Each structure stands twice: as C-alpha cells, then as structure tokens.
Structure 1
C-alpha cells in the first residue's frame, strides 16, 4: 500500500491497491492524519566560551496545527522561524538546548514520525545533471519500500509529476551554476515532489517562495494548499508574502526576536492588532503590517511620554505586543491545548479518534543495504556521466604522459640517474594528482548528504561505498592509459610481468592517494581548508619521498614512513632493479658496479617489498575508514 511506507502506523480503512492504475492519486489520500502541538518551546545556544551567557533563540512558542491546515510562521530575518521549523521536524543539532514539549498526535518525535514527515529546505538541493524524472525516480527507489515493485514506484513518480505540473519539463536537466536547466519555480516543485513521494502526513517547508516572482510563488503555494486540503498538516516559514499568499494561510505565528506576538487565524490578525491600537490608515498587505510590528514599527501608534513628546520606540512597541500576547492569546491558547488533550484521551479510551489509526510493526529501513548500494551507485554514475571522462582531464593526463615519454624517450639502462628520476616522477604524479581531485568529493556533496540522511533515505555505509566505487572507473582508467604511454615511451623494462607489476603498484598508489583526499574532505568539509591541508601534505611527502633528501636527520626521519609515495617509489625501483643488477659506473674503464650500491638506490633499499605492500594496503583501508568515521559527524 502506498501509504504504508516503512511507517509505524497504518490506516484501518480506505486502503488503496498500488497495482490499481485506476485508483485515486496517492497524493490525495494521506494514510492518516497528525495533529502537531508545540508548547512553551525554548531554544538556547552557547554564546561562545569563557562562561558567556546563553543566547535565547526561541522564547516560549506555543501553537497547534490540525490536519488540513496551513500554519505560516512570519517574522523578520533572525526572528527564529527556521529554528522553530527545524525543531518541529526533529532536525535540530545538539549544539543548542531545546526545552518545551512537541507532540505528534500526543506522542513525542520518533523514527516513525520522521519517515512520515516531509521537510522542504529553503535551498533546492538537487543534482544538476539529472533530469526531473530521474531525480524523482531515484528518490522513489530509495524512499519507497521493497514491497512496491519498480513499476509501482515509477507510477508514483508519474503521479507526482502530474500533480505538481512538471510534465513539460520531466525530461529536462535540473541545471546548475555552469549550465541552464529548469526554472526556479520548477526546481522548488521538484523539491516538494521528492517529499510527496513518501505521502507525508506532516509537511514542513522553509521559505518555499524565496527568490521566486509573485506568480510562481502563488503557483507553489496553491500546490501546497491543495496538499493540505487533502488532509495533511502543513507548516511553512515565509519572509514577506504578498497579500494573495497571506490569505491562503489558515493560521499565523508572528515572531519578533524569538518571542511570539501573535498566534491565531490569519484573517483575524488585522482586527487583533487594531484592537491594540496598531492600525494602518491606508489599505496595506496584512503581512507588511505584521512584519513592521515584528520589527518594532507601529503604524499610526502614538505614545506620549511625561513631556507629551511624540515618540515611537521599537523596544517599547515589542514590549507592548509581547505583554498583549501573554494577556490575550497565551492563556486562551493553553486552555485550548488542554481541552484538546482531554478530548483526545477520551476518544482513545472509547476507541475513537486518531482517524482509525492502529500501530503495526516498524521497520528501520525501507530497503536493504545491497539495494541502496546499487541505486546510489547507478545514480552517481548517471549524475557524473557528463564529467567523469571530461575532455579536459583526459587531455591533461594524456598530454603529461606524452610529454614525459618524450623527455625520457627510450632512456638507456646506463643512464641510471634519469631512470630513477623517471620512476620518482611516476610515483609522485599518481600519488598526488588523485589526492587533489578527491578532496572535493564530500565537501561538494555535504548539503545533499545532510538532506538525504536527515530523511532517513539510506545507510551511510551504502552511500560511502557507492560514492567511492562510482569514482573507480575514472580513477583507474586514466592512470592505466598514462602507464601504457609513459612506461613504453620511457624505455623501462620491456617484459610484460614488470609492466603489469608497475601498473598494479601505480593503481594501488592512486587508491591510497584518493583515500587520503576523501579523508581530508570528510574531516574538514571545506574545500579551501582541505586543499590547503592537501598541499602541505604533498609537500612533506614529496621532500621525504626518498629522492630529494637521502640523509634525513634521525629526529625527523619517521616522516618518510608516512609517505605512500615513498613506498610506491621503493616498489617501482624493486620492479626495475634487483640486488644482482649492475650498471656502468665508469664507462671509460668499462667498470660495472652493483645497482644496490648506487647512492640514490642504497638510500631507500631494494629489500623488504612485502613491507611496502603491507604499508600501502594498511593506508588504503585506514584512510577510507577514517573518511567514513568523519562522515558520521555530518549532521
């Protein structure tokens, strides 16, 4: 059943067969209803170290939203709208202290509520190279349960597209900063559509009309109104709605610096403030008047001090409004909430209420780990299909390979200095090039990861492996092509075994380097900081790699054992040379000396290569495990 999407509750009645193509659109049939209540919600955050007092973001916010209603949170920037919305969605981080009571049909926030809640962030976090249909389809495949077939999920996607008016652009790419895609209003509808796929009972929207023109904003809110009228509970923040949008709200919460100054019917707000002496002399947008009051600007309100001087003090206006709220609204609101509690408990004792809801077994995940891995891998390949083998990177690698091959063209074995330099360049280039590409991976996907993980869409382990495996075709194909060109042009050992071993060593170095880059990116989650750390690391590894400095002071010699390029360099030398190899040390006297005694080679040695392999294997696993642990901190 479309309504029972890995949820902890299911309806007794009005079940719809998902295989029935003639059934009503599941968007119009929420499985059950939720009444959201929030009482005396207070949120405080630390105002810095050193015993500084806490900063209060929310001060005793109370309200209730019933099924079929839209509650709009109004207030100037910094008034706490988004913080309150995030608290209602159970998404506040542990950086602050939340108190008060938030209930959903009388129960606290839980995993079942989370999977029934659609949260639409202010910014549209979408993959730019996926089409509208692909974006919604991959979301459906991940968020809808395995009990539905792929055809059923595809049908649900088509329902969403039709309901939200996206049919004309279903095959268009989302678009991004570098190329044009669908419009801003269409992106917002796609973001809403992603949440509608799970048939949410509670829908939370953060600034859904931000950055849109008035006509597009009205279309978005009309869609939201339609969803609410189907029986959903809708809460939205909005900054400065037009009068047309304002009159589409059922209830309004008006915040001023984190404190409530109005809660009630949107249509009754003007009369309430007029009764307090705050009325406009001309016809104005109600939202404009409310925002002026929230900023402490009282239109046509005159206050006379002892000297009968006319003044308007924003602080005084706020104090008057907050005092009026406590006197006129707060007491009445608390009594209403207490009455609904008693009615709800009575209905429960008599078996009524709750919309015929019964509790059933809860599932933690809608899909299996392997299924999530496959879908995430396929989505990643689809998203990066235009940039994975882009011409610039291919040209960059091939041109360096050809240029290097020409500089070291058929280097004879007697030119041992040049051959050693070639091997060191080999290890350095493929030790650092993948590192700088990998540091961008997780910082660029941070917002997407937060959004999807907050929705409980997939396990972190399935995402991590799918993301890293999806990068392997590019990460391994380019060094393979580079090795084919550079190895044979450079005149290294011509036997196939030496070539294959050299290729494997290079590929292993690539994977280790990529793992370190992923770890830097995951730990810092900032591209500039990660790139800076990567540049410092590469410089240290380059100097301590065994080629430039051979007699490293003992107190800092341990640095070379941290450098994977050092191990790669040693392995490449070991493939090309043996202890019993000789080189012409004095050609005029026809003298030949052991390769193992040649100073640059003697400084690193040609023995214990299994230690080098083990060290690189440990780094290969360790760096990626470190990156995985770092991603757990992303909230």
Structure 2
C-alpha cells in the first residue's frame, strides 16, 4: 500500500534518549543506590505466541479437536533507557501476554527474539527487572512499611545492612507519597485498609526497592479515578526519566495520560498496527484517511481503529454498529499500512542498531556494583528467617481470632460436661470420648490447612516469578510458622476435655495422650496441605477433604468393627484409626479390667470397640503415622513446584 506524499511515518528512535540518565541520589542513600543504573536496551522482534484451544468435537465419538489460537502475531519494537513505552489495545489484544513475555515469565514456545542489551533473559536480568501485576497482590494484615521492609529483606543482597534496607524503604515511601499511610494495614475483603491508589503505589514500591533497570507494569491505572491515575503515571514517568527502561500496558488512558508516553505500540487482535512516538500516532493514521475533524482523546480514536471502527463511521453513525465485514476491512487496511510503512523500516533499524555503547556502560556499572551472578541474592537461612517472621506477623490475627478460640473452647467445655467424670465402668462412653479426640483433631486442622496454598497461590506465583526466594525456604517457613499457632488450640482442648471427662488421672498418661493428639494434628494438617497444593482450588479441595474425612471416620475402627475383607484396606489409610488405637494404648493395657455388669469384671481388650483395633504393635502405628506425615508434605511440596 503506497503512502500519500504528505504522509507521516513514525520514527523508531528518540534522538534525545540515546544516553541514559543516571538516577539522582543524595549522599545519604545506601551505597548500591548511589551508583548508576545498569542501562538496559530492550528489543523484541517478530514475537509470536500461540495457544491450543478446544474446538467443536463430534457429538457421539467423544473426540475434541484442538486448534491453535494466535495471541501475538509478529510484534516488534525497541525501548531504550529513559523511555516510557505504552502498549495500547482493546481487551484480548495480547497486551498482557506481550508484557509477560518481555518479563521472561511466559512459559511455552515463543517464536521470535527478545533481547536485553543483545542478550537473552537470564537470572541476573530477572533481579534487575521489576514487574507490577494488574492486581495488587499484597498481604492484608501487614502495614505498608512492613510490606516493603519484608520485600527489601528478601530481594536486596545480604551485603546491605538492615539499617540501610530500612532507610531505603523510608526513601521509597517518601518518593511514592505513602508517608501518610505507612503505618496503616493494607486491608482486604473483610476489613478496610488503604485506598486503591495507595495499594498500587505499594505494588510499584515493592519493585522499586531493587532499583530496577527494567520496569514492566500491567495496567497500573486500572480501576482508579482520573486524578489518582495521573499521579500513578506521573510517578512512573519520573522513574523512567531517571534512566530506567519502562514498559506499561494501558487499557483506556485519558488524554492527559496519553501525552506522557514516549513510544506507543498499538495492537489489534494480537497484531501490531502502529509502533512509534505517541505524539505522531494521530498524524500517521490521518495520512491515509483515518483522521477526525473534531477534538477527541487520542487513545479513544486509536482504540476505535484497533477494533476496526473508522472514525468517520463513529461521527456519522454514532448509534449504528459497524458490521463485522467492515471491521475486518479496516483492520486489513491498517495491517497492510503497518507492513508497508513501519515494519520494514523498523526491522532494518533494529538490525543495524549498535548497542556497544550501552553494553560497555552496563559492564562498567555492573563492575562498580559488584553484580552478583548467582541465582539467589540472599542465603537459604536468611530467606527462611524472613519468611517465617513475615508469616507469623501476617497470620497473628487469623490464627488467634476470637471465633476460632470460642469454637474450640466451647466444644471442649460442652464435651467435658457431656462426659463429666465418666466412671471406669462406663467403658462405652470412655471409648467414645477417646474416639472423639481422634476425630475432632483429625478433621479440624485438615479443613484449616486445605485453604493454605490455594489462598496464597497468587502471592506465591508473584514472588517466585520475581526470584525472591527458594520454594524450599517458603514451604518450610510456612509449615513451621503454623506449628505454634496450630498446636496451641488442641493443647487447650485436651487440657479441658481430658480432666473434665475423667480419663486416667495420671500426669504421664495425660502427657502421652496430648502428644498423640498433637501428632495426629500434624498428620491431618499434612494431608490438608497436600490436597490444597494439588488442586489449588478452594471448592474442589474442600469437596475432596469432605469425602476423605467421611471415609476415614467410618473406617476409623469405632463405627464399623467388622469391615468386609475386600475393603478392609481403607482403615489402614485412615490416620484417625491409628490415633484412636494409640490413645487407647495410652489409656489401657491388655490386663485392665472394667465392670461389665454388677459384680462381674471383663477385660478391656475384649470390648468390641477396643478389640476391633487391638492394643498391640503401637510402635508400628507410630512409624506409619510418621510416614504419612512426611509423605503428605513431600506430595504438597512437589505439587507446589508445578504451580505456574
């Protein structure tokens, strides 16, 4: 398609942005911040991404055909240090997919070429890249300062002192205008915290802590009012002017926001229809008949074009909808114009681009900064310590809330009143009370643990994608951090019900019974963690947990004492069965007697509910529970490794 003589072809470079600007830090900044940024020139050439989706299958054969859907189709561009590139397009045009690919987070086959100073993405580049997701994934019960401080402790190297990290956090809080709310909790669905704009600035602040050279933001103004959105983008623009390479997706910016962009990529159904300076985009489209005589927000006009709607149609027929055929014709014309006027020249510029100056400068800065080439910038022990401290701080309100305490204590007191000082002759009631111990503390911790990983899935993906910590340090900190909180309530429960119920009044027996109950809690919690980690969906996990606990309840050795041989294996899978047997073994031995009728004494071991499980081989039962404890947690850990 030939261009008119007076057409405007967008240039691919800003002459004023050739030399990156170093950020300004005063003498009181931490040493690693006073040094220059590692300048990154980001190039992406012919990026293509396809996914397989289910097509329409046959009605009777049950076969489902798979077809490929193109999400990105040959997107090309370049961003230099000091520039702000905006990716604009309607919903589903591939903006977030492209941003994810540029951040090195897109899994699967990715034809095309993405380079950072002419090099592929690597672990050291990940530590220099800040990625702000569209949704603000933050811990609700941490304050703004705590959120940023824990992030700094995990993402900044051990060579930086704790005082320097705290000082850096304070500087970021001041820089982002969060001083007023720095001691306020983030907030969540159940209680109000800071505002949406403040949450977005906290998310940006988490990435700014590492002083990133490349900053990627996914729709940072989504859901914010015009004034707050301008404040956010003004902050982003200031970060770019400090020498950073900044790329952001944006859905429908106001005209004030649009004029802050240096470069623009306009996508239509995954294909680029414009790349170049944002200031010349309207002139470019006007040069082949897609201009408008009225004053409009440039972003609105560009989005109409990306949707295949010509501006003259919108003016003449505001209420009429364009046909799908008309939209395809407009898109085809725009794609042809892009290939003719932008694509060829852009690829030629990228091929002939000499980035040696940027590479040399990057090497100098890296040398001064002593850039760590290792995969992790902090040790395993440091990560474990910080994650443990953060986990306890975050869940202190959740674990010891009044409702949970009331729930457990009220059940213990009610059970103690129902089994009040049960005589030794009432063997049925005493055995039922022992089984209740194994059932309640086999199911209650399981249902609590099922929610653990599904609720933290988004946080785990976000932080692991940023290379903040090892999965093993997170898993161990998460499970150990829960122990004091999860074991306190069963301890109180056992203290109350054991003595009110009139079980064997011997301190050693009580301590052993308590240890068995706590052991059972850990095994039940392990199974809950495994179910949650495998399914990563709260509804599915609770459904599976319900079925599992009901099976374990029935096969626990108390309700059904003569299980048919073909299904007897079920009881050996039930940890409630082993806990029940161990509690009986602690309370009784094979020589104990009870008054089975007036003046007649019988062996406890012959009572049907005891005989069905027996009082022997208790050491084997302990080992089986230990295998369950370790096995379930290993399954949970391996399942978390597959979370993407």
Q: Tell me the distance in 1 between the aligned counterparts of 2:22 and 2:305.
A: 46
Q: CA deviation at 1:228?
A: 0.3
Cα deviation for residue 591 of structure 1 reads 2.0
> What is the correspondence of 1:501-512 to structure 2 with a 5 Å cutoff?
501-512=512-523
Q: After superposition, give the CA deviation of every residue in 1:111-130 in whole Å (9 maximum; x if it has no partner).
A: 11111000000000001111
Query: Retained in 1: the 8 A contact 2:531–2:541?
Result: yes
1:280 aligned residue (262, 273, 292): 292
Taking the aligned partners of 1:48 and 1:475, their CA distance within structure 2 comes to 44
> Counterpart in 1 of 2:103?
89
CA distance in 2, matches of 1:365, 1:215: 39
Give matches, 1:304-319, under 5 Å: 313-319=326-332
Structure 1, residues 471-515: CA drift from partner, whole Å, max 9, x if none? 112211100000000000111000111100000000000000011
Equivalent residue runs for 1:468-507 within 5 Å: 468-507=479-518
Cα pair 1:397 1:482 within 8 Å, conserved:
yes
Measured after TM superposition, the shift of residue 594 of structure 1 is 1.5
Give, in whole Å, the separation in 1 of the partners of 2:267 and 2:196. 28
Alpha-carbon deviations, 1:308-365, whole Å to 9, x = none? xx9870010000000110001001101110121xx235x59xx955474556651221
Matched, 1:138 2:150: yes
When normalised by structure 1's length, the TM-score is 0.92
Query: For the aligned residues, what is the CA RMSD?
Result: 2.0
Deviation at 1:540, TM superposition (A): 0.2
**2:164 equivalent in structure 1:** 152
Q: After superposition, where does 1:347-362 map in structure 2 within 5 Å? A: 352=360, 354=362, 356-357=364-365, 362=373
Deviation at 1:281, TM superposition (A): 2.4
- For 1:296, the equivalent position in structure 2 comes to 308
CA shift, 1:386, in A, is 1.7
Taking a change above 3 Å as real, the CA distance of residues 368 and 26 of structure 1, as seen in their structure-2 partners, is closer
> Deviation digits for residues 454-485 of structure 1, max 9, x if unmatched?
00001111111111111112211100000000
The 1:326/1:284 distance shift into structure 2, 3 A limit, reads: same
Where 1:313 maps in the other structure, the secondary structure is helix
Where 2:215 maps in the other structure, the secondary structure is strand
Matched, 1:48 2:48: no
Give the match for residue 604 of structure 1: 613
Instruction: After superposition, give the CA deviation of every residue in 1:78-116 in whole Å (9 maximum; x if it has no partner).
Output: 00000000000000123xx31100000000011111110
User: Does the alignment pair 1:256 with 2:268?
Assistant: yes
Please tell me whether the aligned partners of residues 261 and 321 of structure 1 are also in contact (alpha carbons under 8 angstroms). yes
Q: Structure 2 vs 1, CA of residues 483 and 188 (structure 1 numbering), >3 Å: closer, same or farther?
A: same
CA distance in 2, matches of 1:161, 1:290: 36
User: Do the aligned residues in 2 keep the contact of 1:505 with 1:572 (CA within 8 Å)?
Assistant: yes
Asked if 2 retains the 8 angstrom alpha-carbon contact of 1:247 and 1:267, the reply is yes
- Matching of residues 412-423 of structure 1 within 5 Å: 412-423=423-434
CA distance in 2, matches of 1:52, 1:390: 49
8 Å Cα contact 1:435-1:517 kept in structure 2:
yes
Question: Structure 2 vs 1, CA of residues 75 and 15 (structure 1 numbering), >3 Å: closer, same or farther?
Answer: closer
CA drift of 1:585 comes to: 2.3
Over residues 195-250 of structure 1, what are the superposed CA-to-partner deviations in whole Å (9 max), with x where a residue is unaligned?
00000000000000000000000000000000000000000000000000000000
Structure 1 unaligned blocks of 5 or more: 1-12, 303-309
Supply the distance in 2 between the matched residues of 1:244 and 1:25 (Cα, whole angstroms).
36
Specify the SS of the correspondent of 1:57: strand
- Does the Cα contact within 8 Å between 1:28 and 1:230 map onto a contact in 2? no
Q: Does 1:71 align with 2:85?
A: yes
Q: Which position in structure 2 is the counterpart of 1:624?
A: 633
Return 482-491 or 386-395, whichever deviates more: 386-395
Contact kept, 8 Å, 1:424 with 1:547, in 2: the verdict is: yes
Q: Distance in 1 between matches of 2:22 and 2:553?
A: 68
1:452 aligns with 2:463: yes
What's 2:38 paired with?
32
> Which residue number corresponds to residue 4 of structure 1?
none
1:595 touches 1:601 (CA, 8 Å); kept in 2?
A: yes
> How far is the alpha carbon of 1:295 from its aligned partner?
0.4
CA contact (8 A) 2:185 2:194 kept: yes
Using the size of structure 2 for normalisation, the TM-score is 0.91
Residue 335 (str. 1) matches residue 348 (str. 2): yes
- Equivalent of 2:407 in 390, 396, 411: 396
- C-alpha contact 1:369 1:459 (8 A) present in aligned 2: yes
1:582 correspondence with 2:593: yes
The count of corresponding residues between Structure 1 and Structure 2 is: 605
Q: Does 1:344 align with 2:355?
A: yes
